[in-house]
Amino acid sequence: MKSNQLNKISSFLDVRYLITFLIILLVVYFGNLAYITLIDPRGMVYSSFLDQHFNYINWLRNSYLYTSNFLAHLAGMDTHITFPYSLTSATGRHVEMVYECLGINFFSFWTAFVWANNQSIPFKIAWWLSGLLCIWFINCVRVAILLMAVVNHWQYNRYMDHHTLFNLFAYALIAVFILAYTKQHERSHRLAVS
């Protein structure tokens, strides 16, 4: 009975891919969440060692702040980093990089998306790393532009604020990258078969 149902599902879903994808997604997604708990001094399970020496959340946040600061300077803005969270303009207006802004959920998704596929390890590593880099860079640009919008008091759209608009733009770029991966994946699969 069970097997029949699974076979029915497998007639319209690639079950192996889906299960592998879900396992990787859940492990990475909740793994990151668990790690944040470990490096939070307010938590019951706090590791000062991990907090001081392997706080990759802070490394990632700082990389965003430094790069966005650099991009904002390139665009002619006078900005500086106010540690630990903010990118601040000379006028005092600022944007903050809290946990939700780091794009870690996108990193988790991309990791699961790439590693669940049947491909050679070098192919996966190349696409995985370039995808992570792409998401990271899009987020850096997004933060710099958002600060620009805040500082220059750009007019708010009637239906959508800058925040949502830039987020949609970032999602669209990530979707384009997924599409490019899919095309390349299919091409290399066809070559392998022929």
Binding segment for another protein (CB under 8 A), chosen from 3-11, 69-77, 125-133, 152-160, is 3-11
We find the least distance from the C-beta atom of residue 142 to another protein, in angstroms, to be 7
Position 89 contacts another protein (CB under 8 A): no
Q: Which of 172, 149, 27, 32 is nearest to 102 (CA)?
A: 32
Euclidean distance between CA atoms 192 and 184, whole angstroms: 12
Position 3 contacts another protein (CB under 8 A): yes
Position 74 contacts another protein (CB under 8 A): no
Strand partners, 86: 82, 96
Binding segment for another protein (CB under 8 A), chosen from 1-9, 47-55, 120-128, 151-159, is 1-9
We find the least distance from the C-beta atom of residue 25 to another protein, in angstroms, to be 6
We find the least distance from the C-beta atom of residue 165 to another protein, in angstroms, to be 12
Pair of tokens at residue 165: 């608009």
Strand order in the sheet with 94-96: 79-82, 86-89, 94-96
Euclidean distance between CA atoms 69 and 87, whole angstroms: 7
Position 173 contacts another protein (CB under 8 A): no
We find the least distance from the C-beta atom of residue 73 to another protein, in angstroms, to be 18
Pair of tokens at residue 90: 């000379």
CA 99 → CA 27, 57, 154, 189, distances in Å?
18, 8, 26, 37
Helix (H, G, I), strand (E, B) or coil at 40: coil
Position 72 contacts another protein (CB under 8 A): no
Q: State how far Cα 120 lies from the chain centre.
A: 23
DSSP H or E segment with residue 191: helix 162-193
**List 1, 42, 155, 158, residue binding another protein (CB under 8 A):** 42
Pair of tokens at residue 34: 């668990």
Position 95 contacts another protein (CB under 8 A): yes
The binding site for another protein (CB under 8 A) comprises 3, 6-7, 10-23, 25-27, 29-31, 33-34, 36-38, 40, 42-45, 85, 95-103, 105-106, 108-109, 112-113, 116, 139, 142-143, 146, 163, 167, 170-171, 182, 186
